[in-house]
Amino acid sequence: MKTVAAVYTGQGLAEPLKALFQEMLPGVRLVNIIDDSLIGDVVRAGSIPPSVARRLVQYYHNGEEMGADVILNTCSSVGEVADAARRMIGIPIVKIDEAMAAKAAAEYDRIAVLATLPSTLDPTMLLLRKQAELLGRQITLVSGLAEGAFDALVEGKHEGHDRILEETARRIADQADVIVLAQGSMARMEKTLREATGKPVFSSPRFGIELEGIQ
C-alpha cells in the first residue's frame, strides 16, 4: 500500500483532505503531520521565519523516515520551503497547489487569486507567474485579498468569513476569467463562489490529488 505523509501548518484542511483521499484514493494510506503553530508564526512574521523552515524540513524528514512514498505539502504559504527541501529529501515532495496553478496558467489569461492572508496571496501569485513562464505564456493576475476573513475565522465567525470571501470574489470577478483559491481550506467554498460569480473557481486539494501523480 502506498503511503502519503501530508504536512499541515494548520488544522483546517486535515479532515477535508482525508475525505478526498477516501473518495479518490481509497487504496492509499494517508498519514497526517500537523503543527498548527506554523501558520501563526508565518502570519506574525509576514514571511517564513527560519525556525518555521527548519521545522518543516524536519517534518518532511519524519515523513520519509516513517516509510512514506510521497510527502504532500498542504500549505501554499510555505511552498518555497518545499521547493528547497526537494534537494534534501529522498522521496518526492508534492505541493498541493502546483497542479492547480499549472492548469490555471495554461488555460486562462486573466487569473484572480482569492486569499485571506498576504502570506498566502503573494506565494500563490508567484507560483502562477512561474508556471506561466514555464509555459511561455503571458498572464494577468488580479489580487483578491479578503481582508478580515482570517480574523473572522480565528474568532469562530465562520459565516462572517464566508461572507467576506464571497464579497471579495464578486468584486474581482469582472476582472478575471478564473478565480484561484489560494488556500486549500477554502475548497468548501468552491461551488458557492462559482455560483456567486459565474466564473470557474479552482481549489487545490482535488487538483493536487488528481494531477500530481500521487496515485
| R_g of the chain computed on alpha carbons | 16
pLDDT confidence of residue 20: 92
pLDDT confidence of residue 5: 97
pLDDT confidence of residue 153: 82
Chain segment 62-85, per-residue pLDDT in tens: 999 999 999 999 999 999 999 999
User: What's the mean per-residue pLDDT of the chain?
Assistant: 93
Q: Do domains 2-96+207-211 and 98-204 have the same CATH topology?
A: yes
Q: What CATH number has the domain spanning 98-204?
A: 3.40.50.1860
Tell me how far apart the alpha carbons of residues 193 and 163 are, in angstroms, rounded to a whole number.
10
Chain segment 187-202, per-residue pLDDT in tens: 999 999 999 999 999 9
What band does 212 get if pLDDT is binned at 50, 70 and 90?
Answer: low
Domain boundaries, the chain: 2-96+207-211, 98-204
3-class SS of residue 197: helix
pLDDT confidence of residue 208: 86
Residue 203 in contact with residue 190, Cβ under 8 Å? yes
pTM of the complete model: 0.91
What band does 210 get if pLDDT is binned at 50, 70 and 90?
Answer: confident
Q: Give ∠ CA 206-99-177 in degrees, rounded to 5.
A: 90
What band does 213 get if pLDDT is binned at 50, 70 and 90?
Answer: low
Q: What CATH number has the domain spanning 2-96+207-211?
A: 3.40.50.1860
Tell me how far apart the alpha carbons of residues 214 and 200 are, in angstroms, rounded to a whole number.
24
Chain segment 116-155, per-residue pLDDT in tens: 989 899 999 999 999 999 999 999 999 999 999 888 888 8
